[in-house]
């Protein structure tokens, strides 16, 4: 069973905070900064398999399973997001969500 978008967002938040913990004082700042991190998809906006990550006012879309940035930017966090998306378990969950979205589109036609 695929993780929900909310669960994926929490996993990504933990992943980024863990990566930041290598820097002195960054872990506490990161916890507050990533409270509003979201993960989503929008098949009408991008025709290919993708995930949209929002952190505050920053937003970027990334394709998967071959991780490439499609649109937007996340600044210094972008490399951590791309590493996270490249994880096999994350790709599996994203693939399942993409299939459900495409099936829902077919049902609505």
Per-residue pLDDT tens over the stretch 45-89: 888 899 999 998 899 999 998 999 999 999 888 999 999 999 999
What percentage of residues in the chain have a pLDDT greater than 70? 88
Q: Which domain holds residue 84?
A: 5-104
Residue 27 pLDDT greater than 80, yes or no: no
Mean per-residue pLDDT, 19-29 = 65
Neighbours of 24 (CB within 10 A): 6
Confidence of residue 30 (pLDDT cuts 50, 70, 90): low
| Residue 34 DSSP code | G
Total of domains in the chain: 1
In a domain? residue 80: yes
Residue 69 lies in a domain: yes
**Within a domain: residue 49?**
yes
pTM value is 0.86
Residue 98 domain flag: yes
* 3-class state of residue 43 by DSSP: coil
| Range scoring the smallest mean pLDDT among 47-51, 70-74, 98-102, 105-109 | 105-109
Higher pLDDT, 89 or 34: 89
Which helix (H) or strand (E) covers residue 52, if one does? strand 50-55
Give dist(CA 70, CA 26) in Å, integer. 28
Instruction: Quote the pLDDT of residue 89.
Output: 93
Q: Is the peptide bond before 19 cis (omega within 30 degrees of 0)?
A: no
| 43 domain-assigned | yes
Domain annotation covers residue 85: yes
74-83: which pairs have CB atoms within 8 A and are 24 or more residues apart?
A: 77/16, 80/15, 80/16, 80/19, 81/12, 81/16, 81/53, 83/15
Is residue 109 domain-resident?
no
């Amino acid at each position: 069973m695929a993780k929900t978008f909310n669960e994926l967002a929490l996993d990504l938040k933990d992943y980024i905070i863990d990566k930041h913990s290598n820097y002195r004082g960054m872990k506490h700042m990161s916890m507050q900064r990533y409270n509003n991190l979201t993960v989503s998809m929008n098949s009408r906006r991008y025709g290919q398999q993708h995930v949209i990550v929002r952190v505050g006012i920053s937003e970027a879309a990334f394709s998967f399973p071959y991780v490439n940035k499609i649109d937007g930017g996340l600044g210094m966090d972008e490399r951590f997001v791309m590493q996270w998306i490249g994880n096999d378990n994350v790709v599996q969950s994203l693939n399942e969500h993409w299939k459900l979205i495409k099936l829902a589109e077919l049902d609505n036609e």
